Chain A
Amino acid sequence: MTNDATPMIALEGVSKSFGRKHVLRGVDLIVPKGTSMVIIGGSGTGKSVTLKCVLGLVEPDAGTIRVDGRDMHEGDRDAFLARFGMLFQGGALFDSLPVWQNVAFRLLRGALKRPRREAREIAIEKLRRVGLTPDVADAFPAELSGGMQKRVGLARAIAADPEIIFFDEPTTGLDPIMAGVINDLIREIVTEMGATAMTITHDMSSVRAIADHVAMLHDGVIKWTGPVSEMDSAADPFLQQFIHGRAEGPIAAVR
């Protein structure tokens, strides 16, 4: 039984090593329902691994992950994944499929399967929602610019109206204007869908545009977490060094 007070995502003591490299050393993190959590941290600090652990793409060595109060290993795996949408860093669009089939991928097969015509209509509606015109529906991903690919990835992430959306470096590789457009889209979509969002990024303008809450991941643990409004005034030296981009501080510049 869950209620609104139950966090949508709760990580407790999550650890993961790859060989001798300890990436996560006991991550504790709570993401309340309907909020947008942004995880920040340097490259190689385990942000992507944290997201992948929640999705079950990477199996943690220790710790528990609960989604809406239930252990992620309980129940049907497909039903579990159907609650999620994810925008990958590089888009991860399927090269062999046209744009509309990428967006409607989930609606063309499996438990959420719809008639082909209806799936196409939904895909075109989602493309419109992310600012793309219907004429891109029949294009292939390789024919689109990086910014358009991100938008298609975003349309795919929201195609089945998920309760939880993950964004992995949503503005990486985009010019500042396109990054701003993507940030605004993410904020709007998360708000209008009432979804819970978890974003990982290095981009501080993204953090300020997207986040309700921020968590700073460093050396495999959460060093600081709190509302975005308290981020600038927080005393944590790791956080302050990161958000101000200083070379001097407790985070070694060369890792």
Chain B
Amino acid sequence: MSLTAPLGLIGRSVLRAFAGVGRVAIFAARAASHIFRAPFYGREALNALLQIGWLSLPVVGMTALFTGGALALQIYSGGARFSAEAVVPQIVAIGMVRELGPVLVGLMIAARVTSSIAAEIATMKVTEQIDALVTLSTNPMKYLVAPRLLAGLVVVPLLVGVGDVIGIFGGWFVATSSLGFNPAAYLKNTLDFLEPLDVISSLVKGCAFGGIAALMGCYHGMHSGRGAQGVGRATKGSVEAAAVLILAANFLLTGVFFSI
């Protein structure tokens, strides 16, 4: 084995990574363009909105509720070390709205929706349903990808909004039922403390995370390998990619909103 072999291996890996990024970028641009170009498949878009939005509400709600409650307990306990127990409403609000709400909803959507999209489209690919769509004069990018991407972009910010509210409620419930906070004062402190930019950043993150989750599901599904193993790999890859990209996008967007 020559001494340059490891360098060649690294070089090939880097090139493969860049090629992968390029392929995803081209796929994303094509998918986004199909949202705005006829024909439009309204029924498929409505179905995607239902699947991604409405049917995700229970899991998003439960995640936010328990996280908000646990956050209140942690802040109360941590704050007590320097006599700052009173900041529970403010920190729960800012923690949920700016950070935990969008990230947790994004990750839950990656687990629930990205995996489901990838498995469904990959199965369609290995059973020749994608080829069948093409022979029936239907562009799979328009019929399968664009409605799901649109639904992700539109409905995940709404889910994040709902998650933020439920998370704050979770904190309120724990704080008022077991930590001795006054219910009305807790809500007033929460509302007084939150700024419009906090809410905007939450919704913008939701939009970005929804787009990432839908896109990764579609991309990995459309590029699935053959057989059950191909579907399994596509599903696993889609969730890994969506989760990592959501966390990376969260870091970038947080930086952007801090600089405003």
Task: Answer yes or no: A52 CB below 8 A from chain B CBs.
Answer: yes
Task: Answer yes or no: B136 CB below 8 A from chain A CBs.
Answer: yes
Task: Answer yes or no: A132 CB below 8 A from chain B CBs.
Answer: no
- Name A's interface SS: mixed
Interchain nearest-CB distance for B130 vs A (Å)? 9
Do B128 and A81 touch (CB < 8 A)? no
Interchain nearest-CB distance for B237 vs A (Å)? 21
Complex Cα–Cα for A106 and B123 (A): 21
Task: Answer yes or no: B127 CB below 8 A from chain A CBs.
Answer: yes
User: In residues 61-109 of chain A, which contact B (Cβ within 8 Å)?
Assistant: 77-78, 81-82, 84-86, 88-90, 92-95, 105-106, 109
Q: Which one of B124, B127, B129, B135 contacts A86 once the chains associate, using CB atoms below 8 Å?
A: B135
Residues A57 and B138 in contact in the complex (CB < 8 Å), given A109-B39, A109-B41, A110-B39: no
Complex Cα–Cα for A81 and B131 (A): 12
Do A88 and B131 touch (CB < 8 A)? yes
**Across the A-B interface, how many residue pairs have beta carbons closer than 8 Å?**
50
Do B138 and A86 touch (CB < 8 A)? no
Interchain nearest-CB distance for B143 vs A (Å)? 8
Complex Cα–Cα for A77 and B131 (A): 15
Do A57 and B134 touch (CB < 8 A)? yes
Do A82 and B137 touch (CB < 8 A)? yes
Which residues on the B side are within 8 Å of A252 (C-beta)? none
Q: Mark A156-186, 1 if CB is under 8 A from B, else 0.
A: 1000000000000000000000000000000
Which residues on the A side are within 8 Å of B131 (C-beta)? 52, 55, 57, 88, 92
Complex Cα–Cα for A89 and B132 (A): 11
User: In residues 96-153 of chain B, which contact A (Cβ within 8 Å)?
Assistant: 123-124, 127-129, 131-132, 134-138
Do B135 and A81 touch (CB < 8 A)? yes
Which residues on the B side are within 8 Å of A111 (C-beta)? 137
Q: Which one of A56, A78, A81, A92 contacts B129 once the chains associate, using CB atoms below 8 Å?
A: A92
Q: Which one of A55, A85, A89, A109 contacts B138 once the chains associate, using CB atoms below 8 Å?
A: A109
With both beta carbons as reference points, the residue of chain B lying nearest to A105 in the complex is identified as: B136
Do B137 and A78 touch (CB < 8 A)? yes
Complex Cα–Cα for A8 and B138 (A): 23
A-B interface, 4 closest residue pairs, ranked by CB to CB distance from nearest? A92-B132, A92-B128, A81-B137, A78-B137
Please report A residues at the B interface, Cβ cutoff 8 Å. Answer: 52, 55-57, 77-78, 81-82, 84-86, 88-90, 92-95, 105-106, 109-112, 156
16 A-B pairs whose Cβ atoms sit less than 8 Å apart in the complex: A55-B135, A56-B134, A57-B131, A78-B137, A81-B135, A88-B131, A90-B128, A92-B127, A92-B128, A92-B132, A93-B129, A105-B136, A106-B137, A109-B41, A109-B138, A112-B137
- Extra contacts, 8 of them, besides A55-B134, A81-B134 (Cβ < 8 A), are A56-B134, A78-B137, A82-B137, A89-B128, A92-B132, A93-B132, A95-B123, A110-B137
